[in-house]
Amino acid sequence: MNATAKDTLPAEHKPMILAPAGNRASFLAAIAAGADAVYCGLKNFSARMEADNFGTEELAALTRLAHGRGIKVYITLNAMLKQDDVEKAAHLVEKLTRHVNPDALIAADPAISRMAERAGFKGELHLSTLANLSFPKGLDGFARKTGFCRSVVPRELSIDEIRLMAEACPENLDLEVFIHGALCYGVSGRCYWSSFFGGKSGIRGRCVQPCRRVYTRNNEKGRYFSCQDLSLDVLSRTLLTIPKVGAWKIEGRKKGPHYVYYTVKAYQMLRDQGSDPQSKKTAMGLLSQALGRPGTHYNFLPQRPWNPVDTGKQTGSGLFVGTMKGPLKDPFIVPAIGLLPGDLLRIGYEDAEGHALQKVHTSIPKRGKLHLKFREGFKPSKESPVFLIDRREKELQAMISALESELGDIPAETVQPSRLQFSDLMGKTLKKKHGKPPVTDLRVFRKAPRMIKPGDAVWLSPENLDAIPGKFAGICRFFLPPVIWPADEALWQELVSRAVKKGGRHFVLNAPSQIVLFDRPGTLDLWAGPFCNIGNSVTAAILSGLGFSGVFASPELSRSDFLALAEKSPLPLGLVIEGPMPLVIARTLNEQIKPLNPFSSPKGEEAFAVRHGSDVWIYPNWTLDLTEKKSELIRAGYTVFAHLTEQFPSGITMRNRPGKWNWDLTLL
């Protein structure tokens, strides 16, 4: 990029730098760094529930402090909402509107937009990346129609794909692009790994990060799915040529103030003085000391994509500073960087059976020696990696302390209970009750069978569409994929058009935005599929207004959640009752993991990878199976039951083990 590229853009197109804050100190660090906006979550309904997060009273004061400096505050309410969450979430939106006055709410569930409207919220609504709006046509046809003015695009997109998304933005909608921070292995909104293995849903913000663990394949152990951090660094300047990119987003709501301050300052330099060699060098130095994992450009440059998984690099959270040396009775490290008083170290990985934290009490020079002390009974493994996970240097701490003093001068906000009764909203939304259609069992085939029978469904593809005679297209249900990437939009638009012209009338969409691929949705039988992650009736009502005929409940739900949704839903309901459900859908696969080559977790859970189109599906070697619950579900009101089928080769052995998923659990 030439030195004047930034200066040729109108001032209003200068992208905001959006800083993460998962605790008070990080929020103040974002203010100290001069971020354009701070995004943070509360104790509920946030996609990073493992962060400390904020109470409403504390957030009200912090927001006033930020607003006094012209810094915007965005609140994340981007978790999937279950039926029992609806009224609590609505009251929370009303309290935020009345007491906090945030500039925007970031949501994945369209129900939040309805709640914000009812609460009189005057700020913006931003569509979270968890909503998986991944193709251009959905921006105007879905995001804008459901009340959103910004869409956070998937981290998997290349610069060319971001341009395609930007070109499709209507006048009153822009994009937010991740430029730095942790990468999820799976596509956002398409990962059930944590939920499947432990009942803690990543889509509800409680991911236990199973992709970071050690897995075994062919008797070799490795972290085959643990990604490096995204770091666009100098490449972020390319985004300045795309006016519709309104914000550069830094991931990291579980990070400390040092990380927040350093990354914000670095990207300010790259944005504002990136054509100056010295500023660029300084910015890169700040990023190297920001306490993150090794960086990757991932897919940003389509001609030079990086696989984000490199088993030769350390991917524990924090900055790797060395390995433990010496005898276990007197271990030490020789740090690769200088350590400061107050630095916090973690010895070992977070997922190890035991790991230890140690604070540094005196300065240790680079290549010096720091002796490690452990609590009684703790036995680290030899050559355990050591990570620097928090740093509070004096200069930054002084800035935070000064802001703390200012915060103390802001009168405390006494948060009153919500004044609105949302039962009237619920009543209007849920007044319509559907009749009881006949119970239908769907057999969902990856490859179209020779003869289509009533109740058969296939994943839509050119091959399957060619194989189905026109006279049978009208009785078949066509499943759309869970992800459509920008370059594939025209292909799917054409496939949908061909299927409709051939007589297809029944479709299962696996992202709500896919409804924009249909010219006359009201004339068809369109269902929101299991990957739409629907858990509440308000969202079902919104989808009804867009033209959907029915919804599949999220497969993550527990028994009580399934039944609560059935009691209130304004649309007919279905669910996946049997078959192989993926742990995760990803866009990449480590070359050490071969498709259809099983691997296992430390607890003996086995899984394998399969490529479907341009994506990788990771399956456990046991199936979801709620068939024994079918009678109860029918009594509750469910009428469509999908039986997924896959033709795995003989080398894959599916185990006979309970497949009830979260049925008997409380979904967290």
Mean pLDDT by 10 residues, the chain (668 residues): 38 84 95 97 66 79 97 95 93 93 96 94 97 97 96 97 97 97 95 89 90 94 96 96 97 93 98 94 96 95 93 92 89 94 91 83 95 78 89 93 94 77 53 68 96 95 95 96 97 97 97 96 96 96 96 97 95 97 96 94 93 95 97 97 93 89 87
pLDDT at res. 47: 53
Q: CA of 135: how far to CAs of 544, 614, 640, in Å?
A: 22, 14, 28
pLDDT at res. 5: 36
Contacts of 93 (CB under 8 A, 6+ apart): 77, 105, 112, 115, 116, 119, 121
CA distance 332 to 326: 6
pLDDT at res. 428: 45
Q: Are 289 and 335 in contact (CB under 8 A)?
A: no
pLDDT at res. 265: 98
Torsion of CA 539, 545, 548, 554, to 10 degrees: 0
- SS3 of 240, please? helix
pLDDT at res. 658: 87
End-to-end CA distance of the chain: 47
Torsion of CA 16, 21, 26, 32, to 10 degrees: 20
Contacts of 102 (CB under 8 A, 6+ apart): 63, 73, 74, 75, 96, 123
DSSP secondary structure letters along 585-641: EES---TTS-TT--EE-TT--EEEEEEETTEEEEEESS-EE-GGGHHHHHHHTEEEE
CA distance 431 to 434: 10
pLDDT at res. 395: 94
Strands 440-445 vs 456-459: parallel, antiparallel or unpaired: parallel
pTM for this model (two decimals) = 0.94
Q: Residue ranges of the alpha helices (H) in 289-433? A: 394-408, 423-430
Strands 245-250 vs 16-21: parallel, antiparallel or unpaired: parallel
pLDDT at res. 2: 33
Rg (CA), the chain: 25
Both tokens assigned to 14? 């200068």
pLDDT at res. 3: 33
The one-letter amino acid at 279: S
Of 57, 92, 62, which Cα lies nearest the Cα of 76? 92
pLDDT at res. 49: 47
Torsion-angle region of 223 (φ positive above 0: left; ψ -120 to 50: alpha; else: beta) = beta
Give residue for tokens 């905001």. 16
CA distance 245 to 167: 10
Contacts of 635 (CB under 8 A, 6+ apart): none
Q: CA of 534: how far to CAs of 21, 37, 508, 539, in Å?
A: 28, 30, 13, 7
CA distance 307 to 297: 9
Tell me the per-residue pLDDT of 398-437, one tens digit each, with 9 for 90 and over. Answer: 999 999 999 999 988 777 777 776 665 554 444 444 556 7
CA distance 517 to 493: 5
Give residue for tokens 């690099």. 313
DSSP secondary structure letters along 162-192: HHHHHHT--TT-EEEEEEEEE--SSPTT-B-
3-state secondary structure 438-497: CCEEEEEECCCCCCCCCCEEEECCHHHHHHCCHHHHCCCEEECCCCCCHHHHHHHHHHHH
pLDDT at res. 110: 94
Buried b (16+ CB within 10 A) or exposed e, 573-584: bbbbbbbbbbbb
E strand intervals along 514-612: 525-528, 550-552, 573-579, 584-586, 599-600, 606-612
Tell me the per-residue pLDDT of 535-545, one tens digit each, with 9 for 90 and over. Answer: 999 999 999 99
pLDDT at res. 421: 67
